[in-house]
């Protein structure tokens, strides 16, 4: 048995197998080094998600070349491998049309760049931070720490809102005050609250809009601007401060009211008779 093993190790077959293993190992090393070097170079001129995608493509391309060389060392014909790969690609293309659609959609997303890694986006009812942008899907982490995978095809067909694209955001607060209140007083109190809140920007200035007469209240919109990173804190603190300021100024925020008139059957019949005369 040891003699047979020694003879096999000295054979040409063992030599080819050793060369194939060395090529595979070298492929992993070269692919890793090349992708990291390309990443450092591309970081100077491209966005992070473009760099990640290019690094992955370069890694697998180099590894595929070394794997093809390793298979050739083992006696596989390269033309046969390419032919088999072509047939397999066609078969997979028919079997996975959705994946092909996601792949094409991913290329459109890469070119259009509606968002980047780290952005917060809203797709339908899902809002989260972009963790990765791949050729088939985009991965998000929601605010309640859930992992969400969205196919690229869905992103292309849906309305995508980038909540962190610009450095400032506007918070629109809709509220109602009682009909007895003076609109000028309400406007003054709201602007005083905004002036005292350090998260509200002076420019663009806060905006007061009288929207109209509601069923139970005078409808008002008060809009303020804040830096992107302060938006959630502002939304919470501003509403609390407005409630306290309204209480101190005696401004009433009415609850919805509805007036119901009760009538007897006789009154109803009499009213119907009067309308028919």
Per-residue confidence (pLDDT) for residue 184, from 0 to 100: 94
Query: What mean pLDDT do residues 34-51 have?
Result: 73
Range in 91-105, 143-157, 164-178, 200-214 the model is least confident about:
91-105
**Percent of residues, the chain, with pLDDT higher than 70:** 77
Query: What mean pLDDT do residues 7-25 have?
Result: 71
Domains of the chain, by residue range, sit at 9-95, 112-162, 168-249
Q: How confident is the model at residue 17 (pLDDT cuts 50, 70, 90)?
A: confident
Has residue 8 got a pLDDT over 80?
no
pLDDT single digits (tens) 136-147: 889 999 999 999
Q: How confident is the model at residue 45 (pLDDT cuts 50, 70, 90)?
A: low
Q: How confident is the model at residue 205 (pLDDT cuts 50, 70, 90)?
A: very high
Q: Cα torsion for 103, 105, 111, 114, to the nearest 10°?
A: -130
Has residue 7 got a pLDDT over 70?
no
Alpha helices in the chain (DSSP H): 2-9, 12-42, 48-73, 78-95, 97-112, 152-157, 183-196, 231-249, 265-276
Per-residue confidence (pLDDT) for residue 204, from 0 to 100: 93
d(CA 246, CA 118): 38
Q: How confident is the model at residue 269 (pLDDT cuts 50, 70, 90)?
A: low
Range in 58-62, 86-90, 210-214, 252-256 the model is least confident about:
86-90
Per-residue confidence (pLDDT) for residue 142, from 0 to 100: 94
Q: Give Cβ neighbours of residue 141 (< 8 Å, ≥ 6 apart).
A: 128, 129, 131, 147, 148
Residues 146, 197 contacting (CB under 8 angstroms): no
pTM: 0.61
User: Does domain 112-162 correspond to CATH entry 2.40.30.10?
Assistant: no
- Which CATH class, in words, describes the domain spanning 168-249? alpha beta
Has residue 96 got a pLDDT over 60?
no
Q: Which CATH number fits domain 9-95: 2.30.40.10, 1.10.287.1260, 3.40.50.300, 3.40.50.2300?
A: 1.10.287.1260
Across all residues in the chain, what is the average pLDDT?
82
Per-residue confidence (pLDDT) for residue 34, from 0 to 100: 84
Residues 189, 245 contacting (CB under 8 angstroms): yes
19-28, 63-72, 151-160: which has the highest mean pLDDT? 151-160
Per-residue confidence (pLDDT) for residue 177, from 0 to 100: 94
Residues 56, 35 contacting (CB under 8 angstroms): yes
């Amino acid at each position: 048995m040891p003699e047979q093993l020694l003879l096999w190790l000295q054979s040409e077959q063992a030599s080819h197998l050793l060369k194939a293993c060395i090529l595979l190992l070298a492929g992993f090393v070269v692919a890793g080094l090349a992708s990291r070097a390309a990443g450092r170079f591309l970081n100077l001129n491209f966005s992070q998600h473009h760099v990640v995608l290019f690094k992955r493509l370069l890694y697998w391309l180099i590894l595929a070349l070394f794997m093809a060389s390793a298979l050739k060392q083992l006696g596989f014909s390269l033309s046969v491998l390419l032919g088999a790969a072509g047939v397999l690609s066609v078969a997979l293309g028919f079997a996975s049309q959705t994946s092909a659609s996601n792949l094409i959609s991913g290329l459109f997303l890469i070119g259009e760049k509606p968002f980047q890694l780290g952005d917060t986006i809203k797709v339908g009812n899902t809002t989260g931070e972009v963790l990765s942008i791949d050729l088939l899907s985009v991965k998000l982490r929601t605010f309640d720490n859930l992992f969400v995978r969205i196919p690229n095809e869905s992103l292309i067909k849906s309305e995508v809102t980038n909540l962190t694209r610009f450095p400032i955001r506007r918070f629109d607060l809709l509220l109602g005050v009682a009909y007895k209140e003076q609109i000028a007083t309400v406007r003054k109190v709201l602007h005083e609250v905004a002036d005292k809140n350090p998260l509200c920007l002076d420019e663009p200035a806060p905006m007061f809009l009288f929207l109209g007469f509601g069923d139970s209240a005078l409808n008002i919109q008060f809009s303020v601007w804040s830096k992107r990173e302060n938006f959630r804190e502002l939304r919470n603190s501003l509403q609390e401060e407005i409630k306290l300021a309204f209480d101190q100024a005696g401004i009433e925020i009415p609850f919805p009211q509805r007036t119901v008139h009760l009538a007897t059957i006789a009154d109803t019949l009499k009213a119907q008779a009067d309308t028919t005369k």
